[in-house]
Amino acid sequence: MPSVRILVVDDEVDLADAVARGLRREGYAVDVAHDGVEAFDKIRLNGYDLVCLDLTMPGIDGLEVCRQIRNSTELTSQPRVLMLTARDGVDDRVTGLDQGADDYLVKPFAFAELAARVRTLMRREASQSSAILVVGELELDTSRHRATRSGQELSLTAKEFALLRYFMAHPDLVISQEELLEHVWDEFADPFTNTVRVTVGTLRKKLQSPDNIREPVAGASLPNLIETVIGKGYRLLPGSPSQ
């Protein structure tokens, strides 16, 4: 499952910000909008994988935003839509799903359930039935937020985890800094900083350094798995489970 960029749309500012913080802790790149007009403007500009969309908002409500998403000819790809609402009637759920929502979560909800629904929707998008991603000797468990190399757990920050997830979804492909900024970072990332280079560097060291392996061979150096392609970007080398 690739790294996911999410838009949280809710006119309840505190709730939207709380959901966004929780999803960022899960390793997602998250933007926030507080009304339907702002939401659709951002959806047109950014390649979101998922929109967590409040149904009841002043002005343009969630149903209208969902209709605009599904009927738009401007969007290069269709995001998944998770409808968030206090309306729990069957007719309300049916209406939301009929307008193009992919799932429906009734407020108040536990964040753990929202996070699980996000993972499920993204696995459906990627046509995967498992939350486990495996590339060579690397294994990443998105549901438990756990990454290992050769069976040994790696200590990664949320951003390093998200970056590794994106690399593992595109093994052996050259990925540009611009693509990483768009899919792993959020709208507040400064494209003129070296944040991508720095984060790739720290991730590379954690994947390669024997300090991150419980029982390293004395003096050994693990093979580098992230290659810098000068002028192009970065590539995750698939390697092999026995490498």
Residues 13 and 120 in one domain: yes
Q: 174-194, pLDDT tens digit by residue?
A: 999 888 887 788 766 776 678
Final residue of a domain: which of 125, 151, 182? Answer: 125
From 172, 165, 159, 148, select the one nearest 234 (Cα to Cα): 172
Does residue 241 fall inside a structural domain? no
DSSP the chain: ----EEEEE-S-HHHHHHHHHHHHHTT-EEEEESSHHHHHHHHHHS--SEEEEES--SSS-HHHHHHHHHH-SS-SSPPEEEEEES---HHHHHHHHHTT-SEEEESS--HHHHHHHHHHHHHHHTT-S-SEEEETTEEEETTTTEEEETTEE----HHHHHHHHHHHHSTT--B-HHHHHHHHS-TT--TTSSHHHHHHHHHHHHHH-GGGSSSPPTT--PPP-EEEETTTEEEE----TT-
Would you say 234 and 174 are in contact if contact means Cβ atoms under 8 Å apart?
yes
Residues 121 and 158 in one domain: no
pLDDT score recorded for residue 221: 59
Residues 149 and 66 in one domain: no
What value does the mean pLDDT take over residues 51-71? 88
Total structural domains within the chain: 2
Does residue 26 fall inside a structural domain? yes
Final residue of a domain: which of 125, 148, 173? Answer: 125
Residues 33 and 90 in one domain: yes
Residues 110 and 146 in one domain: no
Read off the CATH number of the domain in which 141 is found. 1.10.10.10
Determine the structural domain holding residue 171 and report its residue range: 132-236
Residues 179 and 115 in one domain: no
Residues 77 and 170 in one domain: no
Length of the chain: 243
Read off the CATH number of the domain in which 10 is found. 3.40.50.2300
Does residue 243 fall inside a structural domain? no
Residues 119 and 155 in one domain: no
Phi, psi of 128 (to 5 degrees): -115, 145
Would you say 42 and 187 are in contact if contact means Cβ atoms under 8 Å apart?
yes
Report angle CA 94, 43, 129 to the nearest 5 degrees.
60
Q: 148-177, pLDDT tens digit by residue?
A: 888 888 889 888 998 998 898 888 889 998
Q: 75-124, pLDDT tens digit by residue?
A: 777 889 999 988 766 776 677 777 788 898 988 999 999 999 998 888 76
